Amino acid sequence: MVHLDLHLKEGKTSYVAIGLEGSANKLGVGIIRHFPGPFSTTNRAEVLSNIRDTYITPPGEGFLPRDTARHHRNWVVRLIKQSIIESGLKISEIDCICFTKGPGMGAPLQSVVIAARTLAQLWDLPLIGVNHCIGHIEMGREITGADNPVVLYVSGGNTQIIAYSEQRYRIFGETLDIAIGNCLDRFARTLKIPNEPSPGYNIEQLAKKGSKYIELPYTVKGMDMSMSGILAHIDNLAYDLFNNKKHNKTIFNDDGTPKVTVEDLCFSLQETLFAMLVEITERAMAHVGTQQVLIVGGVGCNERLQRMMETMVLDRRGFIFATDERFCIDNGIMIAHAGLLEYRMSGKGFDYSDTVCTQKFRTDEVLIKWRD
Provide the pLDDT for residue 350: 76
- Report percent pLDDT > 70 for the chain: 95
CA distance 261 to 248: 14
CA distance 363 to 134: 7
Least confident of 2-16, 214-228, 235-249: 2-16
Boundaries of every domain in the chain: 15-140+328-365, 148-327
The DSSP line for 101-166 is EESS-HHHHHHHHHHHHHHHHHHT--EEEEEHHHHHHHHHHHHH---S-EEEEE-SS-EEEEEEET
> Looking at the domain covering 148-327, what would its CATH class be?
alpha beta
Provide the pLDDT for residue 6: 54
What is the average pLDDT across 243-256? 94
Put the strands of the sheet holding 168-174 in their side by side order: 168-174, 159-165, 150-154, 292-296, 319-322
The upper half-sphere exposure of residue 176, i.e. CA atoms within 13 Å in the direction of its Cβ, equals: 12
Short-list 279, 241, 275, CA closest to 260? 241
CA distance 164 to 170: 6
Q: Which amino acid is at 340?
A: L
The DSSP line for 313-333 is HHHTT-EEEE--HHHHS--HH
Over residues 195-210, the pLDDT tens digits come to 999 999 999 999 999 9
Predicted TM-score of the model (pTM):
0.94
| Backbone φ, ψ for residue 352 (5° rounding) | -60, -30
CA distance 72 to 26: 8
Q: Using an 8 Å Cβ cutoff, are 159 and 276 in contact? A: no
Q: What Cα–Cα distance (Å) separates residue 368 from each residue in 99, 226, 231, 365?
A: 17, 29, 36, 9
| Residue numbering of the annotated binding site for substrate | 153-157, 185, 200, 204, 302
pLDDT at 237 over 80: yes
What is the average pLDDT across 124-143? 97
Q: Using an 8 Å Cβ cutoff, are 112 and 104 in contact? A: no
pLDDT at 238 over 60: yes
What is the average pLDDT across 345-354? 79
What is the average pLDDT across 306-325? 97
Residues 6+ apart with CB under 8 A from 239: 190, 245
Confidence of residue 2 (pLDDT cuts 50, 70, 90): very low
pLDDT at 224 over 90: yes
Over residues 86-111, the pLDDT tens digits come to 999 999 999 999 999 999 999 999 99
Q: What Cα–Cα distance (Å) separates residue 100 from each residue in 109, 277, 302?
A: 7, 26, 24
pLDDT at 348 over 50: yes
268 or 13, higher pLDDT: 268
CA distance 183 to 175: 11
Q: Which amino acid is at 39?
A: F
Q: Using an 8 Å Cβ cutoff, are 85 and 107 in contact? A: no
| Backbone φ, ψ for residue 368 (5° rounding) | -90, 85
Short-list 334, 341, 284, 276, CA closest to 305? 276
| Residue numbering of the annotated binding site | 132, 136, 153-157, 185, 200, 204, 302, 330
| Backbone φ, ψ for residue 113 (5° rounding) | -65, -30
Q: Using an 8 Å Cβ cutoff, are 355 and 99 in contact? A: yes
Over residues 10-61, the pLDDT tens digits come to 567 899 999 999 999 999 999 999 997 655 444 479 999 999 999 999 999 9
Over residues 146-155, the pLDDT tens digits come to 999 999 999 9
What is the average pLDDT across 202-219? 97
CATH architecture of residue range(s) 15-140+328-365: 2-Layer Sandwich (3.30)
What is the average pLDDT across 57-86? 97
Provide the pLDDT for residue 296: 98
- Report percent pLDDT > 90 for the chain: 91
Q: Using an 8 Å Cβ cutoff, are 343 and 96 in contact? A: yes
Query: Residue 179: helix, strand or coil by DSSP?
Result: coil
| Backbone φ, ψ for residue 304 (5° rounding) | -70, -40
Provide the pLDDT for residue 4: 47
- Per-residue HEC secondary structure of 22-87 comes to CCCCEEEEEEEEECCCCCCCCCCEEEEEEEEEECCCCCCCCCCHHHHHHHHHHHHHHHHHHHHHHH
Residues 6+ apart with CB under 8 A from 233: 216, 217
